[in-house]
Amino acid sequence: MTEEIPATADLALIKRLIPHRYPFLLIDKVVDIVAHESAVGIKNVTCNEPHFQGHFPDHPIMPGVTIVEAMAQTAAVVVGVSANLADKNALVYFMGIDKCKFRNPVVPGDVLQLKVTKIRGGGKIWKFSGRAEVEGKLCAEAEFTAMMGVQPENAETAR
């Protein structure tokens, strides 16, 4: 019997799939998951996030690199549910970012939608295209490559 791929990942499932945690877990939910293909990440941007203390105190703007990271975390959830990696200590390594453009600022109060689509992948290395939008307005876009695998049980003693 094949395990059913969820169409939505709440915060609890996200934490079972990817290793990121506060303050670097940058997605709140993933919806419209199509196994091995695409999904939409949701990031509710609030003024309480640590990067706004310095970027910029009087005019807070979400750093572009964190927007790209949020797209990559969304893609990692697609890979995680597709490869049944929940509770398997998955690791994610960024390998490259291409065609990255920033179009509009993302600010506290925005609901950022992170639309990711597979370009190629299926094994350990995946490439996705991503679009970050607020209310249908393009804020950032990029292509990114990452490797995803499972950490060995005895990783500490293997060194």
Question: Any idea which residues carry the catalytic annotation?
Answer: 55
**What is the CB neighbour count within 10 angstroms for residue 77?**
23
**Cα–Cα separations (whole angstroms), residue 108 to 30, 98, 133, 146:** 20, 27, 14, 28
First to last CA, the chain: 38
User: Which tokens belong to 134?
Assistant: 């607020």
Q: Tokens 């939008």, residue?
A: 133
Q: Are 102 and 140 in contact (CB under 8 A)?
A: yes
Question: Token pair of 106, please?
Answer: 């993302």
Confirm if 97 and 142 have CB atoms less than 8 A apart: yes
